[in-house]
Chain A
Amino acid sequence: MEYIASGFYHALQLILKLDSELLGIIFLSLKVSGAALVLAALIGIPLGALLSLKKFPMRSAAVSLLNTFMGLPPVVVGLFLYLLLSRSGSLGFMSLLYTPYAMMIAQTVLSLPIVASLTYAAVSSVNPVIRMAARTLGANNYQTAVAIIREARMGIMAAVIAAFGRVIAEVGAILIVGGNIAGLTRVMTTAIAMETDKGNFELALALGIILLSLSLLINTALHLIQNNKDVRSQIEGD
């Protein structure tokens, strides 16, 4: 209990002092996770929508595979990417290992199946009448797909929120491919792991509290946007 109280105090001190090292760590965390999330959304949303809207052989196998990948163990992803990005690996020539780019790739790999799979579920749950309505109004295939995806936007937003939760809290993969190098690849989660290893529990806890607060802040903002746009919540509230 003492640790927790002290952790809160320490966290407050660190924030108020605007410690430059801490700010650098926070900024890098947001940059890495933000970039990974954008990449995962750019690839995952069209992929999930395509899986839902387009019928093709082995589609259910592809969906099952995607669902399985939602539970990818971060350390396994980290190890796999390490082998790919290390000097002897097939992507070694890019010299990405121990850079923020490697961490972004790792988090993209981890969050992509979440975005794609939940987008698939969201698009699949759109009332089939919407598809018919769009077609009866003269929409072509592309316009019909856009209308359906627009109807699924709340579910897609939920997919992005879930993926954000995964990337902001992730430590295993980025520790392996990033290396937790101070000022270069140290992010909040890897810093927490390091401080815990060192027995510096107060600082680790303080960093944890800041991470949770940031996560809460961003999630609240995303939920507010989602709820404001979701008229169904107003209907249920009537």
Chain B
Amino acid sequence: MPISLRISGLSKVYNSSVVIDNCSYTFQAGSVYAVMGPNGCGKSTLLRICSLLESPTSGSISYYAGDNELAYDMRLRRMMTLLLPDIGIFNTTVLKNVEYGLKIRGLSRKSIYDASCEALELVGLTHKMSQNALLLSSGQKRRLGIARALVIKPRLLMLDEPTSAIDVENTEIVESAILRIKQERSSTIILSTHERTQADRLADKVVFVENKRLSQDGF
């Protein structure tokens, strides 16, 4: 079941510089949201806070599975993932990169391998599975990041500029993977992007970060 999150009065201040100011918003379960805004407007900060990588300076986020509010614990953290712009590729094979999220969850070797192969197939990297991931092109690394995020079947998937600085072919593969999850409606997806056309292609709703606050543009 996808999870929803409600942001209430969220603010983030870095060294007396306000990045997000008193934001409130509810991301509905199972929907795809595109967060848009100029560089440095706070999109990445918002995603890092939502993925529990950072704490807000003030305000709160509540996560819900149906009507039940979820506690801030390891179980909640393992329901979500964030694809970082730099991805954070591990210095090991492509396959082991994908397997990582499942290994730390203690799944059986066979199920880890099968699920990882399926995720790699989805992003067209099956033929690269034995290669060291650091040797991939930047577009392939982004696809690997998608596979690594999808394999854990997150109920909340956040993607920070998933197609920035990659070519058209890789962008299409990444977008089709996102659209496939969208079809399944098994995850709530929040992605940040600069491109309005991409937001239109992928998202149900577009949220703008303007003047350090969130505003919605439904379509």
Contacts and interface: CB of A to CB of B under 8 A. Distances in A.
Contact of B90 (A132, A150, A234): A150
A129 to B, nearest CB: 4
Q: How large is the interface on A (under 10, 10 to 19, 20 to 34, 35 or more residues)?
A: 20 to 34
Contact of A129 (B86, B104, B135, B148): B86
B156 to A, nearest CB: 11
B102 to A, nearest CB: 9
Given A143-B104, A232-B91, A136 B53 contact: yes
Contacts of A137: 81, 100-101, 104, 148-149, 152
A151 interface: yes
A45 B80 CA distance: 32
A132 B53 contact: yes
Contact of B88 (A129, A138, A143): A129
B82 A231 contact: no
Interface of B: 51, 53, 74, 77-78, 81-84, 86-92, 100-101, 104-105, 132, 134-135, 148-149, 152
30 contacts: A129-B86, A130-B90, A133-B84, A134-B100, A135-B53, A136-B51, A136-B83, A136-B84, A137-B100, A137-B101, A137-B104, A137-B149, A137-B152, A138-B104, A140-B74, A140-B104, A143-B104, A147-B90, A147-B100, A150-B90, A150-B91, A150-B92, A231-B91, A231-B134, A231-B135, A232-B91, A234-B132, A234-B135, A235-B134, A235-B135
Given A132-B84, A234-B132, 13 more contacts: A133-B87, A133-B89, A133-B90, A134-B100, A135-B77, A136-B84, A136-B149, A138-B74, A138-B152, A150-B90, A232-B91, A232-B134, A235-B134
